[in-house]
Every structure is written in structure tokens, then in C-alpha cells.
Amino acid sequence: MSKINILNITIDNLSLAQLLDDIKQGGFVVTPNADHLIQLQNDPEFFHVYRNADYVICDSQILIYISWFFGKKIREKISGSDFFPAFYWHYRNDPDIRIFLLGAGPGVALQAQKNINEKVGREMVVATYSPSYGFEKNEAECHEIIDMINATNANVLAVGLGAPKQEKWIYKYRSYLKEIKIFLAIGATIDFEAGVVPRAPRQLSETGLEWVYRLAREPRRLWRRYLLGIIPMLSLILRQKLGIYRFKKPLGLLLHEAGLLTMHQVEVLLVKQAKDPDQRFGELAIQHGWLEPKTVHFFLVELPRWLQKHYAHRLLDYLEVAGLLSHGQIEALQVEQQSDPRALEQLAIERGWIKPKTVEFFQRVQDLAHRPQINSFESVYFYKPSSN
């Protein structure tokens, strides 16, 4: 399956027919549009969810135009509101596909359930739930929803809550939903299926002007998203075209790459940071006792400085200055090495002082620092669009 990179979002370049066949094996589907591209530049949690989705499919004709601008060609636009009806119609005679609808207003999901089941001629949608406003912040309600879904025989969860709420909710709770194999983030599709919100005329959708229709219907809610997002998006697209676009890795993901935080820890801190944007990620990690101040300072200040100046240090220097090995620990390892000729970092791993993933990370950093022809700072701290 080929992929196309737009503003560091890797889009799976596949047809609707191919996706319908492949998804039976399971997976998490997200559908990026132009608004998502902008949100993903500024929301580390949302970005992390996208990087961990199984299918990232093109939801917008605008993204197809952008791919042409880059000399590529996205095969087909597959919006959530097109994919979902194609999905249930494709599997209408397959009793192994059973859907739970989560989202929309009171009674709307129930109406969508009735309409879909009448179309396919069987009880394909087995249950629905319309959550309360702000439910995603209520852990008790979220676990009630999980219990509700698990109590059914559903193996497909279609979530229509709007982005990025729906994607974040799926990612956070998918491990609790043991019987669900297919996760679909479908936006306003439940409203469309219930018939309470009309879709844009197909001609507008096919020419990339569906946003004009939606803006005309809901100007007070959507004007900021569509009108204020156009200029920054065009600027970023031009920067990628000129080869000067870079997306800096959020600190949490960098620390995860270095084996210093689990993804669960990163997610916990991102949720706390979302509630209090004035709190810095590194400060929160220190407050939780997950990192030492010396380690956060190293990743924010010392390591970028070393990489920008191509300072090539010993592996132990990185580990010691980052506060991951103390001077006393290094001396103990050196004594042990007199009778065991293995590398000190391997001895440290054996003692449980550092993780193999941390050693691998700093070995890569060390290798980059020894190669002056490479911008080692950008290679470590930035994602770069691929040439696909």
C-alpha cells in the first residue's frame, strides 16, 4: 500500500474497494481533511493518535488537489460519510459484522440504527448510545459506555463525535473493548444516516467545495475553522513544496522514543496539560516523579546544543549528563568491566539501570553527531515529510 505525506500526515493511498476488503481483518480508521491538517500541527495528542491509526484515508478533495501540487496523486477521496454507508452495504449479508453507534444527539443514533437496519434487511446495528456533553472528561461515564459496548455482541464501533474528540476517545479506550475489531471515526455521519442533517450536494463534494455548503448552514460554529484555517494551511503547504517545512516532535514523543516514558505516561501528561496549558510537559513529568529535572533539561537544552554543534560524545557522556547514569554507577560498571569485557551500556542494561531502547536511541544520536554532512539536530528533533 503506497503512502503520500502531506504536512507530515501519512495518507494511505488506497481505493474504497481495497479498504472495504482489508478492513475485515480489523483496524482503526481515521479520515483526515484540511481542518485536521491544521489541528495536527498544534495538538501533540491528536498527532500521536494519527501516527498510531491503522488506516489514514483521504476525506477531502482539497487534499487530492494538494497531492497534485506535490506531483503525487491520491487515488480516491474516501470521506467518513461515504465510507460508512459503503461499509455497511458491502457487509450487509455478513452476519459477522455487527455495529455499535456512539455519538450524535439524543435519539439521533437510534434513528440512524433504524434506517441502516431497514436498508440492509437485518439487525446489523445492534446498539447505540448518545453521550452527554463533555462526557469524555467524565471517567465514570466513559467506563459505563465501555461496559455497555462490551455487553453487546458488536465487533465494529463507529464513533461520531467530531475531531479530535472521537479519535482521542477511540485511542484511549480501544484496549478496553476486547470484542471490537474495527474502529471507525466518522464525524457527522450518524446525523446524515439519521436524516437530521442533509449532506452537501455531490457536485460540491466532488469539487472540494463541501466546506462552503457546511459554512453556509452553520456559519457561527464553523467560520473560524474554515476561514481562519485557510491561510496558515496554504503557508504550510507552500513551505513543504519549497522543502522548508519541518514538524518538531513533541517532547513527550521524543522521550518515548528514548525509552524514558511509556505512551500511557505521555497520554496522562498530555491530558493534564490540556486542562492547564500553562503547565509545561517536562514540568508535569518531574512532578509525577517520572523524570529528573536534569533529564528534562538535557533534552530541552544540552542535547540540541550538542547536535547543532556536532559535538560527538561517548555514549556514557550522554547517559551521565542526562542524569540516567550517576558517576558512581559508571565507576561500578568500569570495575565490573575489568572481569567482563562487554560494553558498559550492556552491563548497565543487565543491572536494570537503563533500558535497551534508551541505549539504542543514544547510539543513533551518537552516530548522527559523527556525520557532519547530516543536520543531526533536525534528524532527532523533527519529523520530515517523506518523499512518497
pLDDT (tens digit per residue) in 174-200: 999 999 999 999 999 999 999 998 877
Note the pLDDT of residue 234: 85
In this predicted structure, what is the pLDDT of residue 387? 46
Per-residue CA distances from 206 to 97, 112, 201 (Å): 29, 25, 9
Q: Report pLDDT for 163.
A: 92
Question: How much of the chain is in helix, strand and coil states, percent to nearest 5?
Answer: 55, 10, 35
Query: Domain residue spans in the chain?
Result: 3-194, 248-383
Q: What local confidence, expressed as pLDDT, does residue 229 receive?
A: 67
The low-confidence residues of the chain, meaning pLDDT below 70, are 1, 208, 211, 222-223, 225-229, 384-388
**Amino acid 384: pLDDT:** 65
- What does each C-alpha distance from 197 to 177, 200, 216 come to in angstroms? 30, 10, 13
The answer to whether 36 and 58 are in contact (CB under 8 A) is no
DSSP per position, 148-199: HHHTS---EEEEES-TTHHHHHHHHHGGG-TT--EEEE-TTHHHHHHTSSPP
What would the CATH number be for the domain defined by 3-194?
3.40.50
Instruction: Give the per-residue pLDDT at 227.
Output: 66
Whether the pTM exceeds 0.85: the reply is no
For the chain, the C-alpha Rg in angstroms (whole number) is 24
